[in-house]
Amino acid sequence: MAPSTSKRHTGVSGHCSDSDPAAAQAHVTHHQRRTLASTKAMTNLHPLLAAALFLFFLSCAAAAADPVPDSCEAIRDFVDVSFCASRLRSVPGAAAADRHGHLLMAADLAAASGASARDAAAALARRVAGDDQAARRREDALEACGILYGAASVPALRLMRGYAAARSWATARALLPLTGQAGIGCDAALGGSPALAGGGGEMAAANREFDQLSTMATALLNKVAGRPAAWGVRFYGCVFRTTMAASTLMRSFLLASAAAVCAGAAGVTNTTALDTVCSFLGGYYVTPELCTSVLCHDPTSPCRAARDGPAVAALAARLAAANATAARDSVAAAAAASTPDVETKAGLRACLQLYTGAAAALEWAAGSVAAGRLAGAREVLQAAQYVAAGCDGMVAGEAMPKENGGFDTMVIVAHAVVASLSTAY
């Protein structure tokens, strides 16, 4: 039989055998065209895909590198992490800043919060209605709030921020006790006002915001600078240095010593109101001897003629104000002299800022104590106790006038006297 002349096909449909070269060539050409078209389509898609992938990985890298959560986690024992993160992120550039930058931002936020609280307290004080004793006490407490923010914590925060920016850690730390006084002091002053629900409620949110922000700044400073090697405990006008581990034991010892001193003094016949007041200040680390020597330092002083406790408190407040003014003037003279080097002169000028505020604040406090309104004055005196230490931190050695030390002792005693009487009258 003659072989068939029909075309032989493979078992795969559409694929020609090599018995038909023309058909095979046509198939190959068609396949190449399809592959080329697909390659061109992918080539057009690649730039868009690459851009999308780049943006995706960039966002992931940015999220992973965001330092704000890291800074806030580091101080979670002191400040709510979500509060910390939300406040820091409100500052432009926080996501690109390191922890040192976050410290400076926290100090700025706290200072701005304090300035706002100062203005709020002043506005509330102006709106107090009535002229009775309760209204006057509420107005007095609100005025104290404004003074604590405006003359103490806000200036101290701004100075601390400057020293922290320069990485002068010891100096920045010396200002920390003063930076946080306003919020707690304002709350305490309003707590002594019969109209607490009025003034206290309106200042509570501002005080709380400031407390958290100033605590943020303090905690970040300690994280950036490292823990201080030791801290000071004031007693009898001196500073005892102790480690944190021994702090509880030392404090218990000091309290016991103070109680023993006062117990011994109780056996002595008190002949004047001043003796009576001075005999019960052990809880403030002030002995009767220190109290009387400070309040009666001038032999011609009529200190023992004070008829009662409030009169002794008024005397103490007046002396604290006078000492603040004397210290301010001495610091101003030292800052104006040509002898200090640049760093010392800058420190004296910064110290002068603190004393300028303290002198005015204590003049106000003396007037309030004389009028029998002790709660606000007590808190102003409490804050003023940290001015001398702040100045010591900014000006080293003999460059600091001796009046700074004299004021330190006086204001400790004055605060003890006013505080001891603030709940009794």
| Same-domain check for residues 197 and 282 | no
pLDDT(24) > 70: no
Instruction: Give the model's pLDDT for residue 129.
Output: 79
H-run or E-run covering 393 = helix 387-394
The proportion of the chain whose per-residue pLDDT surpasses 90, expressed as a percent, equals 65
pLDDT(32) > 50: yes
**Around Cβ 306, how many Cβ atoms within 10 Å?**
19
Which of 204, 228, 252 is where one domain is finished? 228
Tokens of 304: 């023992």
| Same-domain check for residues 221 and 297 | no
pLDDT band at 64 (very low <50, low <70, confident <90, very high): low
Which of 196, 213, 228 is where one domain is finished? 228
Q: Does residue 50 lie within any of the structural domains? A: no
Q: What is the mean pLDDT of residues 306-331?
A: 97
| Same-domain check for residues 103 and 89 | yes
Q: Does residue 355 lie within any of the structural domains? A: yes
153: burial class by Cβ within 10 Å (0-12, 13-18, 19+)? Answer: buried
Q: Does residue 14 lie within any of the structural domains? A: no
pLDDT band at 14 (very low <50, low <70, confident <90, very high): very low
| Same-domain check for residues 251 and 157 | no
Please identify which residue in the block is written with the tokens 């405990």: 233
Q: What is the mean pLDDT of residues 176-184?
A: 96
Instruction: Give the model's pLDDT for residue 202.
Output: 83
Q: Does residue 348 lie within any of the structural domains? A: yes
Q: Give the Cα separation of 30 and 88 in Å (integer).
A: 63
pLDDT(65) > 90: no
Rounded (5°) CA angle 216-220-225: 155
Q: What is the mean pLDDT of residues 27-44?
A: 51
What is the total count of domains within the chain? 2
| Same-domain check for residues 408 and 346 | yes
pLDDT(373) > 90: yes
Q: Give the Cα separation of 259 and 191 in Å (integer).
A: 27
**Would you mind telling me the total number of residues written for the chain in this entry?**
425
Q: What is the mean pLDDT of residues 278-290?
A: 95
| Same-domain check for residues 202 and 288 | no
Question: What are the DSSP E strand ranges found in 245-397?
Answer: none
Q: Does residue 116 lie within any of the structural domains? A: yes
Question: What are the DSSP E strand ranges found in 75-212?
Answer: none
Which carries the bigger pLDDT value, residue 359 or residue 61? 359
pLDDT in tens, 402-423: 999 999 999 999 999 999 999 7
For the CA atoms of 285, 190, 315, 291, what is the dihedral angle to 10 degrees? 0
Instruction: Give the model's pLDDT for residue 301.
Output: 83
Instruction: Give the model's pLDDT for residue 52.
Output: 55
Tokens of 193: 């006002």
| Same-domain check for residues 210 and 251 | no
Which carries the bigger pLDDT value, residue 236 or residue 386? 386
Beta partners for residue 240, in sequence order:
233
| Same-domain check for residues 345 and 286 | yes
Q: What is the mean pLDDT of residues 295-317?
A: 92
DSSP letter for each residue of 205-242: HHHHHHHHHHHHHHHHHHHHH---S-EEEEETTEEEEE
First to last CA, the chain: 138
Q: What is the mean pLDDT of residues 380-389?
A: 98
> For residue 96, what is the domain's CATH number?
1.20.140.40
Which of 174, 201, 228 is where one domain is finished? 228
Rounded (5°) CA angle 186-189-190: 85
Please state which of the ranges 161-165, 320-324, 328-332, 394-398 shows the lowest mean pLDDT.
394-398
The proportion of the chain whose per-residue pLDDT surpasses 70, expressed as a percent, equals 72
Residue ranges making up the domain that contains 336: 230-425
pLDDT(214) > 70: yes
- pTM of the shown model: 0.76
Question: What are the DSSP E strand ranges found in 193-350?
Answer: 231-235, 238-242
Are 182 and 209 contacting, i.e. CB atoms less than 8 angstroms apart? no
64, amino acid identity: A
Q: Does residue 15 lie within any of the structural domains? A: no
pLDDT band at 45 (very low <50, low <70, confident <90, very high): very low
**Around Cβ 372, how many Cβ atoms within 10 Å?**
14
pLDDT(28) > 70: no
pLDDT(304) > 60: yes
| Same-domain check for residues 339 and 392 | yes
| Same-domain check for residues 234 and 202 | no
pLDDT(336) > 60: yes
pLDDT(240) > 50: no
| Same-domain check for residues 258 and 370 | yes
Q: What is the mean pLDDT of residues 314-331?
A: 98
Q: Does residue 16 lie within any of the structural domains? A: no
Instruction: Give the model's pLDDT for residue 245.
Output: 33
Instruction: Give the model's pLDDT for residue 133.
Output: 87
Please state which of the ranges 150-164, 255-269, 297-311, 312-326 shows the lowest mean pLDDT.
255-269
**Around Cβ 339, how many Cβ atoms within 10 Å?**
8
Q: What is the mean pLDDT of residues 36-65?
A: 52
| Same-domain check for residues 173 and 290 | no
Q: Give the Cα separation of 105 and 86 in Å (integer).
A: 12
pLDDT in tens, 245-280: 333 334 433 444 444 444 444 454 558 999 999 999
Q: What is the mean pLDDT of residues 147-165?
A: 98
Please identify which residue in the block is written with the tokens 């010392």: 344
Please state which of the ranges 5-9, 92-96, 199-203, 215-219 shows the lowest mean pLDDT.
5-9
Three-state SS at 377: helix
Which carries the bigger pLDDT value, residue 249 or residue 214? 214
Q: Does residue 20 lie within any of the structural domains? A: no
Instruction: Give the model's pLDDT for residue 378.
Output: 98
In the predicted model, what is the mean pLDDT of the chain?
82
132, amino acid identity: D
